[in-house]
């Protein structure tokens, strides 16, 4: 099974080191992120597991420009015909087939390890892809998802807040949950990333899911507040 249900209507597609997500809406499927290059087969398999066709994907949302999230974009855009949305700052790179700005390892041992593995792989170049729509902080999408700009990991990192099921935060790479809730593997700007985490900690959500690691399925915003909430918030 390529699919794992997080809450009714929202699924993880586990792609080895990274997760993509499928959201079922009245209007069809929303695909969030596309994995490394070569992940399209497994994502299409996940769509079939939902009893859907590739053409049922109405929109592809990208959380940021890194190759483990945009890698199979060209193939999946071709397969689904869906338009793509992302933050304009990161879209600038994706439109040119670029995936990486200079960055440093995030705090913690696992992140140091991830950073070394990722930097050994080098900068991937991908096919240039048109991004039809740009996402902005606070924007409410047709699917009910709210865009939360959460820069730091990249300048154009976004998270999505889904108000269903007590609130679900798709934190993407604003944080990770590999050996517990923690920082992302790398940061373009760690201090900005910390400000973004403090901002996410002010939101209310029962569930959180991540690009790297397992979903937190209960009391998630409390966990964010304990870790990154500012005193007095």
Site residues (vs Zn ion, CB under 5 A): 66, 173
Rounded Cα–Cα distance for residues 137 and 213 (Å): 25
Are 223 and 181 within 8 A, CB to CB? yes
**Could you give the strand order of the β-sheet that contains 168-172, starting from the edge strand earlier in sequence?**
146-149, 158-162, 168-172, 207-210
Output the smallest distance, CB 64 to Zn ion, in A: 6
Cβ-based burial of 97 (10 A; exposed 0-12, middle 13-18, buried ≥19): middle
Which residue of the chain is nearest Zn ion when measured via CB? 66
Output the smallest distance, CB 69 to Zn ion, in A: 6
Whichever of 40 and 173 has its CB closer to Zn ion, that residue is 173
Rounded Cα–Cα distance for residues 51 and 70 (Å): 24
Whichever of 52 and 95 has its CB closer to Zn ion, that residue is 95
Whichever of 54 and 71 has its CB closer to Zn ion, that residue is 71
Whichever of 76 and 172 has its CB closer to Zn ion, that residue is 172
Output the smallest distance, CB 63 to Zn ion, in A: 8
Whichever of 66 and 199 has its CB closer to Zn ion, that residue is 66
Output the smallest distance, CB 187 to Zn ion, in A: 10
Output the smallest distance, CB 212 to Zn ion, in A: 8
Whichever of 66 and 77 has its CB closer to Zn ion, that residue is 66
Output the smallest distance, CB 51 to Zn ion, in A: 31
Q: How far apart are the first and last CA of the chain?
A: 41
For the stretch 52-55, contacts whose Cβ atoms lie closer than 8 Å and that sit 24 or more positions apart, written own/partner, are: 52/28, 54/79, 54/80, 54/81, 55/80, 55/81
Nearest CA to 200 out of 186, 213, 183 is that of 183
Strand partners, 30: 23, 59
């Amino acid at each position: 099974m390529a699919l794992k249900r997080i809450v009714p209507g929202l699924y993880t597609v586990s792609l080895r080191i990274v997760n993509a997500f499928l959201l079922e809406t009245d209007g069809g499927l929303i695909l969030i992120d596309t994995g490394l290059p070569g992940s399209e087969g497994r994502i299409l398999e996940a769509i079939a597991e939902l009893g859907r066709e590739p053409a049922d994907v109405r929109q592809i949302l990208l959380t940021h420009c890194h190759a483990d999230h945009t890698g199979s974009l060209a193939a999946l855009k071709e397969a689904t015909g869906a338009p793509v949305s992302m933050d304009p700052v990161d879209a600038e790179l994706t439109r040119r087939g670029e995936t990486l700005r200079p960055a440093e390892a995030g705090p913690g041992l696992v992140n140091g390890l991830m950073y070394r593995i990722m930097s050994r792989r080098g900068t991937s170049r991908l096919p240039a892809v048109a991004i039809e729509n740009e996402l902005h902080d606070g924007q409410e999408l047709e699917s009910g998802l709210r865009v939360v700009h959460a820069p730091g990991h990249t300048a154009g990192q976004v998270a999505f807040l889904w108000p269903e099921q007590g609130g679900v935060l798709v934190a993407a790479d604003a944080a990770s949950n590999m050996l517990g809730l923690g920082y992302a593997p790398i940061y373009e700007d760690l201090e900005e990333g910390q400000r973004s985490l403090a901002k996410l900690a002010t939101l209310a959500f029962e569930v959180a899911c991540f690009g790297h690691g397992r979903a937190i399925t209960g009391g998630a915003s409390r966990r964010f507040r304990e870790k990154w909430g500012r005193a007095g918030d």
